[in-house]
Structure 1
Amino acid sequence: MSSKYFKELRVYKLSEKLSDEIWQVVNEWDMFAKNTMGTQMVRSADSIGANIAEGVGRGSYQDNKRFVRMARGSLNETQHWLRRAYCRNLLTVEQVETLKRMINELAPQLNAYLKSIGNIPEN
């Protein structure tokens, strides 16, 4: 697999879009919120794409699947932080709706990508 392959994946592009949106949201928070939960939320969101990229670079289907499972875990962690942020009045309803749409698109894509690993012909 080419090392550039992951950048072309729709699931990777969606993960980047989600993490960039979360970065913009958290960047507007006060210092206490940024330092306590914002940093963790950004890290978990960034970890989704990082795990996809690392899995592709590992060179085996088993390792790639393992890292995609970690990406799913990072997505779940991100959802946890978003729920906490909403309960603590750090997110607007509009932000929640935007992020929810992104997550609802990304989650099934991660599952589909996981199922497809090993079934994609290499170039």
Structure 2
Amino acid sequence: MVSKLKDLEVYKLSVEAGNIIWDIVQNWNDLQRRTAGDQMIKAVDAIGANIAKAYGRQSFRDDKRFREAKRYCYIAGGELEEAIHWIRLASMRGFFKPDELEKISPMIKTLPEKLSDYIKGFGSS
């Protein structure tokens, strides 16, 4: 098990994705920001926040806290799906520049697998 949250790969990836989305959305016009941008930022930031909650509740000696931790991982997965939804809509509406999508796409493709691996690892420590 990773000894610090900041060293957890899935957490680092989610924070990096959040920072990239934040930087991109800052350059959008007001309508783009208010409609898709704000929702996208909230969803992407919530991925890392829920991973942090899960990490903080991991206790393999306490079944209730273990279930709680796993639940937060599933919530992070839901937030990831929401973020992908907003990214897809913003892309369809032409909000992104091509190089911006190139920055975020690899992370969005990798995050579901990393999150799934993290969930599968629960209880194996």
TM-score (structure 2 length as normaliser): 0.88
CA offsets, 1:59-108, max 9 Å, x none? 42211111011111111100000011011110122222221111122211
Runs of 5+ in structure 1 lacking a partner?
none
Could you tell me how far 1:10 is from its partner in structure 2? 0.7
- Correspondence 1:71 to 2:76: yes
Paired position in structure 2 for 1:20: 19
Match of 2:90 among 85, 93, 100: 85
Looking at structure 2, the residues matched to 105 and 86 of structure 1 have their Cα atoms a distance apart, in angstroms, of: 19
Looking at structure 1, the residues matched to 92 and 57 of structure 2 have their Cα atoms a distance apart, in angstroms, of: 38
What secondary structure, in the 3-state scheme, does the structure 2 residue paired with 1:46 have? helix
The alignment-based identity, stated in percent, is 37
Looking at structure 2, the residues matched to 13 and 32 of structure 1 have their Cα atoms a distance apart, in angstroms, of: 30
**Equivalent AA in structure 2 for residue 6 of structure 1:** L
**Equivalent AA in structure 2 for residue 63 of structure 1:** E
Looking at structure 1, the residues matched to 122 and 5 of structure 2 have their Cα atoms a distance apart, in angstroms, of: 12
What secondary structure, in the 3-state scheme, does the structure 1 residue paired with 2:124 have? coil
**Displaced runs of 4 or more, over 3 A:** none
Aligned residues: 119
**Equivalent AA in structure 2 for residue 37 of structure 1:** A
Paired position in structure 2 for 1:49: 48
**Equivalent AA in structure 2 for residue 81 of structure 1:** W
Looking at structure 1, the residues matched to 35 and 55 of structure 2 have their Cα atoms a distance apart, in angstroms, of: 32
Match of 1:117 among 107, 113, 122: 122
What secondary structure, in the 3-state scheme, does the structure 2 residue paired with 1:104 have? helix
TM-score (structure 1 length as normaliser): 0.89
Looking at structure 1, the residues matched to 35 and 49 of structure 2 have their Cα atoms a distance apart, in angstroms, of: 22
